[in-house]
Amino acid sequence: MDTDQPRSPSSPDILVPHPSTDSSPTDERNFHIRLAVFASVVIIAIIGALVGYPTWQEYISQQEAKLELRAYVNVRALEPPALKEGVSPRVRETIHNTGRTPAYNDAIQAFITVADYPLIKNFERVTCPPDDSQPDKRKWFVGKVPRKETVREAPLTAEEVTAIQTAKSALYYHGTVCYRDIFHESHRTDFCMFWKWDAGRVSPSLSCDQGNRAD
């Protein structure tokens, strides 16, 4: 004797409303109303998918174009500082825009510090000035921008010079560059480099293991 097999809940037509086998005119009317609502929801979902897809694709394309075209800024030291007791260390650097479009309104906060080598504690990350305190100067630049020297106010002490020459400390140059791109969006580049004693002289500038990041 054949028995009816129950339908699986995953059957596609389970989503479609079915009329009752013993239906009155009111039930028939309610069924048609539910069927019309179901069809409307399906149509709206299909239209939303067709309209929303190119909009999302356009957004992704715009973001990719910004990443490809925007400015990217980094800092490079031009020469090692003098290492002499009683003399304030100074660093000459340039800001490099390696992006494909100009940057502007650059503001740099740079510091020269004698600290442990290897570096044990990260330097404090400075905060970029808020947009309302940085007027739109429109100082556009692309490529290299020379800057005035960064000078540590306090001269080097005998203890600091000895610590560097015995490889217990190094001379660090660190800070942050804040700038905007052509899309008027704010960015920052944190930098950290150092000089250590190497074979009886100050080494070329070296990059810190931490403290170098860009957004």
Read off the pLDDT of residues 56-97 as tens digits, 9 standing for 90 and up: 788 888 888 889 899 999 999 988 889 999 999 999 988 999
- Bridge-based pairing of strands 206-207 and 201-202 is unpaired
Same domain assignment for residues 24 and 108: no
Higher pLDDT, residue 127 or 40: 127
96 and 155 in a single domain? The answer is yes
Asked if residue 174 is part of any domain, the answer here is: yes
In a domain, 59, yes or no: yes
Whether residue 1 is contained in a domain is answered as no
pTM over 0.75: no
Query: Which of 69, 92, 108 is where one domain is finished?
Result: 69
Does residue 194 form part of some domain?
A: yes
What is the share, in percent, of the chain residues with pLDDT greater than 70? 72
Asked if the structure places residue 3 within a domain, the reply is: no
pLDDT score, position 147: 81
Tell me the residue type at 8.
S
Q: Are residues 103 and 199 in the same domain?
A: yes
Q: What whole-number distance in Å separates Cα of residue 202 and Cα of residue 117?
A: 14
Residue with the two structure tokens 């905060």: 127
Residue identified by tokens 């990041």 is 213
Farthest CA pair distance, the chain: 108
pLDDT at 124: 92
Looking at the structure, tell me whether residues 78 and 157 fall in a common domain.
yes
Listed in order, strand segments (DSSP E) in the chain are 73-77, 90-91, 93-97, 104-116, 143-146, 150-151, 169-180, 186-195, 197-198, 201-202, 206-207, 213-214
- The answer on pLDDT for 153 being more than 90 is yes
Q: What are phi and psi of 163, to 5 degrees?
A: -65, -35
Domain contains 4: no
| Res. 11 pLDDT band, cuts 50 70 90 | very low
Per-residue model confidence (pLDDT) at position 157:
97
Residues 43, 79, single domain; the answer is: no
208 within a domain of the structure (yes/no): yes
Which stretches within the chain are classed as H helix?
Answer: 25-69, 158-165
Residue-level pLDDT at 73: 93
46 in the same domain as 94: no
Contacts of residue 121, Cβ cutoff 8 Å, sequence gap at least 6: 115
Q: Are 101 and 143 in contact (CB under 8 A)?
A: no
Instruction: Return d(Cα 164, Cα 205) in angstroms, integer.
Output: 14
Burial of 97 (0-12, 13-18, 19+ CB in 10 A): buried
User: Residue 203, Cβ neighbours under 10 Å: how many?
Assistant: 14
Contact 161, 85 (CB under 8 A): yes
| Main-chain phi, psi angles of 83, to 5 degrees | -115, 95
154 within some domain: yes
Query: Is 165 found in the same domain as 104?
Result: yes
Give the CA radius of gyration of the chain: 33
- Domain residues for the domain of 63 are 12-69
Q: Are 37 and 141 part of one and the same domain?
A: no
Number of domains in the chain: 2
Verify that 189 and 91 share a domain, yes or no: yes
Same structural domain for residues 43 and 78? no
Q: Which residue has the higher pLDDT, 67 or 17?
A: 67
Amino acid 91 reads V
The number of angstroms, rounded, from the C-alpha of 136 to the middle of its chain's C-alpha atoms is 22
Higher-confidence position of 78 and 146? 78
**Cβ neighbours around 39 below 10 Å, total:** 11
Residues 81 and 180 in one domain: yes
The one-letter code for the residue type at 116 is D
Query: Do 88 and 40 lie in a common domain?
Result: no
